[in-house]
Amino acid sequence: MADVISKGTLFPEELIPELIQQTVGASALAKLCAAKPIPFNGQKEFTFTLDKEIDVVAENGAKTKGGATVAPVTIVPVKVEYGARVSDEFLYAAEDARLDILTSFAEGFARKVARGLDLMAFHGVNPRTGSASSVIGTNHFDSKVTQTVTIQGEDKPDDNIEAAVALVQGSEREVNGLVLAPVFKSELAKQKTADGAKLYPQLAWGSNPGEINGLRVESNTTLSANSSQDRALVGDFINAFRWGYAKEIPVEVIKYGNPDNDPTLGDLKGHNQVYLRAEAYIGWGILDPSAFAFVKAGA
């Protein structure tokens, strides 16, 4: 099993689908849109729109111009990493113990990747710092999506969602998913019918039912993270959003140096430590911003 812990080794094959599955389980975007493989050097996705309606042509009649618009969106994977120092006893542990450590590290990394995907794609931030990332640039919902419903005074939250749905449908796009910030989900859960019954009992006590009124719904803290005013995002997640991993998910066991660039921690060898580093390449693209609409908190 020496190869399993050598520099540049990959997680065992059976861990890769498990890692993807765990990521899907914790990311709102990953739940609403299935992952597709993304090449390391990126790929172009094209939205192809026929600009006009079909034309009725009389017998021997002249045909008129239709027209089409093709809009390319380039999806380039972003490299993300996570590392941690562990005792070099890891190197000498039994095979099962080493695999347990790698599996636990993979599970933790999957959760971080899942949250990171949402933070990057919703807000364009580096998840670790919370600051805007120049690598991501404008490739995020906050930048691309301009259709917005702003919560006013005593607005009912379901009315806000209906208004956001109307914006998407007004752009002749379909709605198949909804992401809710926890605070907004709580407001929905409080709504009652005229006789005092809960209007959305499936949301009570923080539940995440996965579907409301036939619409797929997900909720986590990433939509409203970093003091964001975003409270809900509705739209066509199946057709107008793409994301995926590059194929390999490597883990590296580093035995020497200061790989986390922290001068206070010192050299690994000098402190009987090794460094586990996992990396992933994740790409995403918003193919059609008009297929989405936000509900945002007022100033």
Centre a 10 Å sphere on the Cβ of residue 51 and count the other Cβ atoms it contains.
Answer: 9
Residue 3: what pLDDT? 30
Residue 165: what pLDDT? 97
Residue 120: what pLDDT? 96
Counting every residue written for the chain, the total comes to 299
Residue 181: what pLDDT? 94
What are 206's two structure tokens?
């923080």
Q: Is 14 exposed, middle or buried (0-12, 13-18, 19+ CB in 10 A)?
A: exposed
Residue 248: what pLDDT? 59
The single-letter DSSP state of residue 120 is: H
Give CA–CA dist 190/86, Å, rounded: 46
Which residues of the chain fall short of a pLDDT of 70?
Answer: 1-25, 39-52, 54-55, 60-61, 63, 66-72, 247-250
Give CA–CA dist 230/180, Å, rounded: 9
> Alpha carbon 21 to chain centroid distance?
14
Which domains, ranges and CATH numbers included, belong to the chain? 2-48+71-296 (3.90.1690)
pLDDT by residue (tens digit) across 18-53?
Answer: 666 666 667 899 899 888 777 666 565 655 566 667
Residue 5: what pLDDT? 35
